[in-house]
Amino acid sequence: MNRYLLRRLAQSAIAVLGTVTLVFFIQRLAGDPTLLMLPEGATREDIETLRRQLGFDRPVIEQYLDYVWQLLRLDLGQSLVQRLAVGDIIASRLPYTLYLAAAALVVALGIGLPVGVLMAVKRDTRLERLLVAFVLIGQSMPTFWSGILLILFFAVTLGVMPASGVDGFHSVILPAIALGALTMATFARVTRTAVLEELSRDYVPAAQAKGLRFRAVVFSHILRNAATPIITVSALEIANLLAGAIIVETVFAWPGLGQLAVQSIAARDFPIVQGIVLLGSFVAISLNLLADILYSVVDPRIRLEGRA
């Protein structure tokens, strides 16, 4: 472990603590958090009882320390509707979201990488312009709309895909495309820039002068050098995919964390919402850290300089 990594680790720990603090205080934005946890039309006594039960009548700082201590023991509290531990409920939904995000990542990489390479290699041709349009569409289509269009076309009109729910391998295809589109566009853009940069390096004409065919140069030299930014972007994009899943899961009735979050807001089940937000932020912070570590491994300048 060198100083740079230690420093990044400490920063991430502070970010996690900060997130916990922020979430704690957001709860209190509305005034009394017990109001968030009771159904509308609760009586005054109900409110009083719950407040005492949950300890909201104590000083805020004491509540805050309690809250942090509880989270340190990985205890996310109890669902108000289902009377189950929030951790268990989240754990039961998490695999679906991970499955969907992984499938979307496959779609994004599988299409984004080749498209990006083609855009760079075929620069200023009609093909590039076509691909640019394709990428722009992927980037500007809101996922809830592309999801609906996919259902309209493949499920309603053609009837070849299930419209929603989880039922075998088929059912992940449409949501994965809807979720992966934006990430695909990002991959294509990053790959294009990286490949273009490598194309302008001196080793390219050198390799060609050596008698290597252009295609071989692209595959054996350029792609290997261009991989760095693509790998780092991947870590960040996984976080985006998980966040995007909230909307896609609602469109496709996919029983993951996103759907759970939306349902829990509607049911006023605040502990679950909070658990999902904390988990999501923790994952995002970890992925950010991972991206920086990856980057410092492949580019020692960052590590040695100490401050990025």
Is the dihedral angle over the CA atoms 31, 34, 35, 37 positive or is it negative? Answer: positive
- What are 211's two structure tokens? 């008698």
132 forms part of the interface with another protein (CB under 8 A): yes
State the DSSP H helix or E strand holding residue 303, giving kind and residue range, or none if neither.
helix 300-305
Residue number, 103 or 143, with CB nearest to another protein: 143
243 forms part of the interface with another protein (CB under 8 A): yes
227 forms part of the interface with another protein (CB under 8 A): no
DSSP states along 147-179: HHHHIIIIIIIS--S-SSS--STHHHHHHHHHH
Is there a contact between 183 and 108 (Cβ–Cβ < 8 Å)? Answer: yes
Residue number, 40 or 45, with CB nearest to another protein: 40
Is there a contact between 56 and 32 (Cβ–Cβ < 8 Å)? Answer: yes
Residue number, 117 or 273, with CB nearest to another protein: 273
Q: Shortest approach of another protein to residue 61 CB, angstroms?
A: 19
15 forms part of the interface with another protein (CB under 8 A): yes
DSSP states along 185-250: HHHHHHHHHHHHHHHTSTHHHHHHHTT--HHHHIIIIIHHHHHHHHHHHHHHHHHHHHHHHHHHHH
209 forms part of the interface with another protein (CB under 8 A): no
Of 87-95, 104-112, 214-222, 240-248, the window that binds another protein (rule: CB under 8 A) is: 240-248
119 forms part of the interface with another protein (CB under 8 A): yes
* Residue from 38, 177, 184, 246 binding another protein (CB under 8 A): 246
Residues forming a β-bridge with 85: 78
262 forms part of the interface with another protein (CB under 8 A): yes
Half-sphere exposure of 46 (CA within 13 A, CB side): 10
Of 47-55, 71-79, 91-99, 195-203, the window that binds another protein (rule: CB under 8 A) is: 195-203
The angle formed by the CA atoms of residues 126, 127 and 129, to the nearest 5 degrees, is 65
121 forms part of the interface with another protein (CB under 8 A): no
Is there a contact between 282 and 115 (Cβ–Cβ < 8 Å)? Answer: no
192 forms part of the interface with another protein (CB under 8 A): yes
Residue number, 254 or 270, with CB nearest to another protein: 270
Q: Shortest approach of another protein to residue 196 CB, angstroms?
A: 5
32 forms part of the interface with another protein (CB under 8 A): no
Locate tokens 């189950």: which residue?
84
* Residue from 10, 22, 65, 130 binding another protein (CB under 8 A): 22
- What are 224's two structure tokens? 């290997």
Q: Shortest approach of another protein to residue 70 CB, angstroms?
A: 17
How far from 194 is each of 49, 86, 209, 212, 264, CA to CA, in Å?
61, 43, 22, 21, 42
> Which residues sit at the interface with another protein, rule CB under 8 A?
11, 14-15, 18-19, 22-23, 26-27, 29-30, 36, 119, 128, 132, 135-137, 139-145, 148-149, 151-152, 156, 163, 189-190, 192-193, 196-197, 200-201, 239-240, 242-244, 246-247, 250-251, 261-262, 265-266, 270, 273-274, 276-277, 280-281, 284-285, 288, 292, 301-302, 305, 307-308
